[in-house]
Amino acid sequence: MSLTSALNSVQSIFNNTGQQSSVVSTNIANVGNSDYVRREASITTSLSGAQVVSISRAQETALLAQYLQSNAKDSAQQTLVTGLESLQSLMGGNDYETSPSTYLAAFQEALQTYATSPSNTTAAQSAVTAAQDLANSLNTATDGVQSIRAEADAEIATQVSTLNTLLSQFEAANNAVKLATSTGADTSTALDAREKLLKQISSIVGVTSVVRDNNDMALYTSDGTVLFETMPRTVTFASTATYVAGTEGNAIYIDGVALDAGEGSTTSASGSLQALLQLRDEIAPTFQDQLDQIAKALVQVFSETDGSTSAPGLFTWTTASGTTGETPSDTDDVTGIASTISVNPAVVTSEGGDATKLRDGTISGITNLNTSGDSGFSDNLDALYQALTEQRSFSADAGLSTTQSLRDYASAPSAGSNNIEATRRRPQKPRPPRCLAPTRPIPTKPASISTRS
């Protein structure tokens, strides 16, 4: 071997060793970087017989696909838990201190106290005050539910914008991978950048990837809609600023195809967008249905009738047109009644009313059950108290048992509790290899309130 050849050989060895050391150093430097995939440097022999360093990524395609699926599910579940916790906070937290059921129990107790002392004007006023607290709790809960829907809608708009930005960035990253592949350059850094974006996309919408010629990648949603193929597909959404009971939110469209909302107590949602749709369009409206069923039953139970005509008594409500509502029948759709239910001014002292009209059954003006004017008359109060414990019919749309007492209905464990408990019991998703991003455990949260099962 000539001196020149020997020197070239030594130089080649030094270069190869330097590249290998550089790969090791880079791996060590990125040990805490969840978006970095470990490199492997190996010595290969070229066609000319020279020894060269070949750098490869320790990528496991199957595990990456599994991670993307798990990440999307985890993101959906955490989004749903956050929404359920917001609904729970409306009720006063774990003890449900401000829930309608709590105020209903207090009202029932005040009503019983009044029935045992029908001549006591203080007891009469206490019963009316408890009724006002109950009505106010239904109003407040309804406002809160609709605020949660509006917040979910606004978050959808934000995440749709983020998703479009990520898809645009993904196009640039994908082009960089294709260029490096076509020129024979090291693709590791470009692939890391592309997969980082892919992971971020998967937290917003469930995604599957297909690698084609020249390392080109196409993306599809979990249901097969094209998300990226050579160029990003447009994701569109028209936000709704204000929500009231009965408002229907707009759909999310990916490449012109509507994105389905998550379904079920353990949620089929993949990605936060589907979970937000489920919260906005299923969970919160179901809880609103339950509030409306309670308000409707209160108006019915405390209505007054002369045998042929029925009119609201202690509790009244306002229709969408602004008029005072009549006593609803079991089949009447009174969406949003919980937002307007109130105590009849006829028994509110501060508004010129007389609380003893509750005892006498003279609130509506069409009846008088205490014709003798007996201050010890308690028959009507006893009947009203008993009516709260009698079996009634409720709409199946609210997701609870259709036959039970009003008191039991308001206190019943709702489907929302089942939803979050099921989320807590789901097995923890498998941890991906070090070359992939770490998973977060499914959060353990307190049970919450209502959704359809």
Residues 6+ apart with CB under 8 A from 233: 167, 225, 226, 227, 254, 255
Residue 32 in any domain: the answer is yes
Does residue 64 fall inside a structural domain?
Answer: no
Task: Give the domain extent around 23.
Answer: 18-58
In a domain, 46, yes or no: yes
Note whether residue 50 is domain-resident. Answer: yes
Encoding tokens for residue 342? 């109130």
39 located within any domain: yes
Is 35 domain-assigned? yes
Instruction: Give the number of domains in the chain.
Output: 1
Question: Which token pair is 10?
Answer: 């030594």
pTM of the model: 0.82
Alpha helices per DSSP H over 91-120: 100-116
| pLDDT (tens place) for every residue of the chain, 453 residues total | 455 544 445 454 545 454 545 555 555 555 555 555 555 555 555 545 554 445 555 567 888 899 999 999 999 999 999 999 999 888 876 677 889 999 999 999 999 999 999 999 999 999 999 999 999 999 999 999 999 999 999 999 999 999 999 999 999 999 999 999 999 888 888 999 999 999 999 999 999 999 999 999 999 999 999 999 999 999 999 999 999 999 999 999 999 999 999 998 888 999 999 999 999 999 999 999 999 999 999 999 999 999 889 999 999 999 999 999 999 999 999 999 999 999 999 999 999 999 999 999 999 999 999 999 999 999 999 999 999 999 999 999 898 999 999 999 998 865 444 444 544 444 444 344 433 333 333 333 333 333 333
- Token pair of 371 as six digits: 């014709």
Burial class (CB in 10 A: 0-12, 13-18, 19+), 315: buried
**Domain assignment of residue 233, yes or no:** no
DSSP run (H or E) holding 128? helix 121-183
Kindly state the tokens that stand for 132. 């006002």
Among residues 22, 55, 31, which one has the least CA distance to residue 41? 55
- 119 falls within a domain: no
